[in-house]
Structures are given as structure tokens and as C-alpha cells.
Structure 1
Amino acid sequence: MNVGLLLLRVLLAVLLCGHGAQKLFGRFGGAGPAATGTVFERWGFVPGRPMVLLAGLAELTGAASLAAGLLTPGGAAVIVGTMTVAAVATAPNGFWAQQGGCEVPFWYGAAAAVLGFTGPGAWSLDHAVGLGSLHGNGWGAAALAVGAATAAVPLVLRSRVLRTRAQQHNEVTS
């Protein structure tokens, strides 16, 4: 089981680091903060560039926590929150990734949630420093709750932006 948890943690972290690097540095075919900020603003996350920086840093921070298996429920909460926001933003395109849907952020968030419940395993810094008990139903539920609560903030702000845009559009077309 420890090998499986280590693989899950490291593979998820590598993918999350790739997505963070796309946003923050334009690596791996990413557009970087300015161009990605334009996309974020189209989705209703205003101002776009700071929101991109926040999302990219959250992905890298959560990935580091999960890869190392250090403060795993906290890292899981960061990823659950970030991926919830990403999933909601891409959900209008459907579920599947090839249509621009929410499949990828859903999966990353789900995998992080699993680690919040299972813990990182014995091959982790949590275990090495005596925090190996940071897992189980309570910790997993806390990771989900904190992730959902942190996702609510940008999603509520986004809904206000989108509502204002719709009202302005209706006024122009009326």
C-alpha cells in the first residue's frame, strides 16, 4: 500500500506542477500569466493575472505538500479547492477533457481528496516527523470542507462578475 500511495502522490504532484508551470512560467505549452489571465477574465475571474498567479501558486504548493507527504490534509485541501474552482469554470463545456470539460480538474481534486482520507503512507514526511496520524475520515472530511470553503470565495466573486456582465448585455440589447 505504501508504494501505491507514494506513486499516487508523486504522479499527481508532477501533473499539478506542470499545470502550475503552464500558468506561472508559460512552460509545457502554457500561455503564462498574462495570456492565461485573459482567459481567466473571460471566465469571470477578475482581475485575471492575479487570479492566475494565485491558482498557479496553489497548484505548486499543494503539489509540493502531496509529493513530500507533508501536512497531507492541508495539501489535499489546497488542491481540492483549486480544482473545484477549475472544474466549475470548465463545466459548461461538459465533462470530458477533449471538449474542454471539467474531467481533468475533477480527477485531480478527487485524487487529492482520496489522499486526505488515506494519508500519505509510511513513505512520507508526515510519517517521518510523527504526523502519521493525519489521516482518516475526519481529516479527509476536513480537507474537503476547507477546500470547498476556499473555492467558494472566488466562485462567488465570479458569479457576481458574470451576473453584472449579463445585466450589462441585457441593457445594451434592450
Structure 2
Amino acid sequence: MDIGLLLLRLALAALLLGHAAQKSLGWFRGAGLAGSATMFHGLGFRPARPMVVLASAAETAGAALILLGLLTPLGAAAVIGTMTVAAAANAGKGLWAHHGGYEAALVYALIAAALGFTGAGAYSLDAPLGMSAPPVWAGAGAVVLGLLATAPVLLRRRAVLRGAAAAD
């Protein structure tokens, strides 16, 4: 089981780090900071450039904690939050990624949530701290914290989109 958790953590962290680098650095055929800010602006995330920086930083921090297996529920919360916002932004396109939907964001958030409940396993920095298998409340707390953190961002986006619709 510990090897499985390690592989899951490594895969999720690598994908999230790439996802963040696309937005912030333009790596892996990403839009970079300027292009991502234009996209964020169009999606109603304002101010767009700071929102790109915030999203990239949260994804990177969550990925790093998950990669290291350090404070895994906290890393999971960061990933759950950022991926919930990403999923909300693409919800109108449906589930499937090939139509621009929220499939990937949902999968990343669910994997992070699972890791929040299972912990990072024996091959982690949590293990020597006695936190390799956290209590259920830590996983539930990761989910709740991640979802609560989305509220200001999504409420602000909703207000921006309503204002834009009213102006039309």
C-alpha cells in the first residue's frame, strides 16, 4: 500500500506542477502569465494577473506538500481548492476534457481528497512525525478547508459575471 501511495503522490504532484508551470511560466505549451491572465479575465477572475499568480502558487504549494508527503492533508486542501475553482470555471462545458470540461480538475481534486484521508504512507516526511495515516477528521478537514477557500474567489467571479451580463 505504501508504494501505491507514493506512486499516486508522485503522479499527482508532477501533473499539478506542470499545470501550474503552464499558467505561470508558459512551459508545456502553456499560455504563461500574460496569456493565462487574459484567459482568467475572460472567465471572470479579477484582477486576472494576481489570480493567476495565486492559482499557480496554491497548485505549486499543494503539489510540493503532496510530493514530499509533508502535512499531506494541508497539501490536499490546497489542491482541492484550486481544482474546485478550475472545475467551476469549466462547468458550463460539461464533464469531459475533450470538450474543455472539468474532468481533469475533478480527478485531481478527488485524488487529493483521497490522499487527505489516507495520508502519504510510510515513504513520506509525515511518517517520522507519526502522521503517515492521519485521522479521518484530518481528511474531512482538508475537504472542508479546500472548499471553503473557494468561496471568496467564486463569489467574486459570480459578481463579475453578473455585472458583465447586466452591462450587455
TM-score normalised over the length of structure 1:
0.94
Gaps of 5+ in 1: 170-174
Q: Secondary structure at the match of 2:87?
A: helix
Higher Cα radius of gyration: 1
Residue 25 of structure 1: how far off its partner (Å)? 0.5
After the TM superposition, which residues 153-172 of structure 1 pair with which residues of structure 2 at under 5 Å, given as runs?
Answer: 153-169=152-168
Gaps of 5+ in 2: none
Q: Is the contact made by 2:87 and 2:105 (CA closer than 8 Å) also made in structure 1?
A: yes
Q: Secondary structure at the match of 2:139?
A: helix
Q: Distance in 1 between matches of 2:131 and 2:147?
A: 24
Q: Secondary structure at the match of 2:126?
A: helix
Residue 160 of structure 1: how far off its partner (Å)? 0.4
| Alignment match, 1:44 | 44
Q: Distance in 2 between matches of 1:24 and 1:109?
A: 20
Q: Is the contact made by 1:116 and 1:136 (CA closer than 8 Å) also made in structure 2?
A: no
Q: Is the contact made by 2:95 and 2:101 (CA closer than 8 Å) also made in structure 1?
A: yes
Q: Is the contact made by 2:119 and 2:131 (CA closer than 8 Å) also made in structure 1?
A: no
| Alignment match, 1:105 | 105
Percent of matched pairs sharing the same residue:
51
CA RMSD after TM alignment: 0.8
Aligned pair count reads 168
Q: Distance in 2 between matches of 1:110 and 1:131?
A: 20
TM-score normalised over the length of structure 2:
0.98
| Alignment match, 2:79 | 79
After the TM superposition, which residues 90-101 of structure 1 pair with which residues of structure 2 at under 5 Å, given as runs?
Answer: 90-101=90-101
Residue 137 of structure 1: how far off its partner (Å)? 1.8
Q: Is the contact made by 1:46 and 1:158 (CA closer than 8 Å) also made in structure 2?
A: yes
